[in-house]
Amino acid sequence: MPEGHRFPMEKYAAFRRQAQQRLFSLPGVGFHPSPLSTVRDLESTHDRSYIQRYLVGNVTAQEKRESGFDWNEQHVNRTLSSVGGTVAATHAVLQSDSSVGAHLAGGTHHAFQARMEGFCIFSDIAVAANVALRDYPDKVRKILIVDLDTHQGNGNAVLFQDDSRVFTFSMHCDANYFSKKQASDLDVEVKAGTGDAGYLSLLERYLPLVFEAQAPDLVFFQAGVDVHASDRLGKLALTRAGLQRRNLRLFQFVEAYGSKLVVTAGGGYPSDSDPSSGPYADIINAHADVYVGAAEFFGGGSKMVPLLR
């Protein structure tokens, strides 16, 4: 990434290291490098010509502006591993007795079938969901996407708008739309400035309804931490403890319904990249907490599939 770019790419290495340190002694937790997504898997979700244009660098200036990224071969590999890791985590959990598989990247919920937007080229969750439906028809009939990023999961909303097998639930800040608002199966808007109590109250109102109505076989958790008060883009005011309670509540519902869970990262934009600063540490801690919390809650049997950098 160019120096000074507003996307905090360095955070992935930082919170991956923290997650590894905190989970090193927990039995059953393994870290593996993300594989690159196959074109066949990408085509389960995205337009073939769009995929090929991106892979060879035929990207327009407007697309670069909308995605927030320039094009280079390293970023192609990063994009493919961002999808491939979520697909690998999905295979890992569906082929084992584990309750949770996780990817320390992904969460690219602004990508559309043939359009990039908001740091998202392809939708890793959508691709992984379609791969699960394709490859595990006896195990996966109903999928729930729980998107708790501060931004709406607009790309996934559109990608699954005509597929009753996948239910999209997005709970996001009402002041954080940067493009046209889309219609998820359930959208819950959170007022800017909301803290732990108000946020968790809303989650407690809607999460039980969604699980009861869907009884999902597989849940994807877009675990954006840009709802944290230290996030420079989030416009919400959750604390680290509030985020931990958010994560725990989802884990409890997954366990109660006997669902399989795939965790991905999401937004998290510290106000600076100084590792010694409080806001930077807040975002790194919040990201790592998601994975540590999942592994500890589900008994250490999860397969952690990170993006290694």
Query: Is residue 62 predicted with pLDDT exceeding 80?
Result: yes
Lowest mean pLDDT among 65-69, 114-118, 140-144: 65-69
Q: Which CATH number covers residue 60?
A: 3.40.800.20
Tokens of 293: 């919390």
Top pLDDT among 92 and 3 is at 92
Q: What range does the domain containing 256 cover?
A: 10-304
Within-domain flag for 35:
yes
Give pLDDT, residue 271. Answer: 79
Of 3-7, 63-67, 72-76, 131-135, which has the strongest mean pLDDT? 131-135
pLDDT at position 190 over 60: yes
Asked if 224 and 151 touch (Cβ cutoff 8 Å), the reply is yes
CA–CA gap between residue 85 and residue 32 (Å, rounded): 9
Residue 1 in domain: no
Within-domain flag for 111: yes
- pLDDT the model gives residue 178: 85
Instruction: Tell whether 4 is covered by a domain.
Output: no
pLDDT, one tens digit per residue, over 108-138 is 999 999 999 999 999 999 999 999 999 999 9
pLDDT at site 5: 67
* The token pair that represents 129 in the structure block: 């969901």
Sorting pLDDT into bands at 50, 70 and 90, what band is 304?
very low
Whose CA is closest to 287, among 223, 200, 195?
A: 223
pLDDT value at residue 303:
42
Three-state secondary structure of the chain? CCCCCCCCCHHHHHHHHHHHHHHCCCCCCEECCCCCCCHHHHCCCCCHHHHHHHHHCCCCHHHHHHHCCCCCHHHHHHHHHHHHHHHHHHHHHHCCCCCEEECCCCCCCCCCCCCCECCECCCHHHHHHHHHHHHCCCCCCCEEEEECCCCCCHHHHHHCCCCCCEEEEEEEECCCCCCCCCCCCEEEEECCCCCHHHHHHHHHHHHHHHHHHHCCCEEEEEECCCCECCECCCCCCECHHHHHHHHHHHHHHHHHCCCEEEEEECCCCECCCCCCCHHHHHHHHHHHHHHHHHHHHCCCCCEECCCCC
Residue 179 placed within a domain: yes
**Model confidence at 308: pLDDT above 80:** no
Longest CA pairwise span in the chain (Å): 49
**Residue 235 in domain:** yes
pLDDT at 300 over 70: no
Q: What is the identity of the amino acid at 16?
A: R
| pLDDT over 60 at 97, yes or no | yes
Question: 104 in a domain, yes or no?
Answer: yes
Tally of structural domains, the chain: 1
| pTM of the predicted protein model | 0.94
Q: Is residue 287 included in any domain, yes or no?
A: yes
Orientation of helix 124-135 relative to helix 73-94, angle to 10°:
40
**Which of the four pLDDT bands, split at 50, 70 and 90, describes residue 28?**
confident
pLDDT of residue 306: 38
Average pLDDT, stretch 174-179? 92
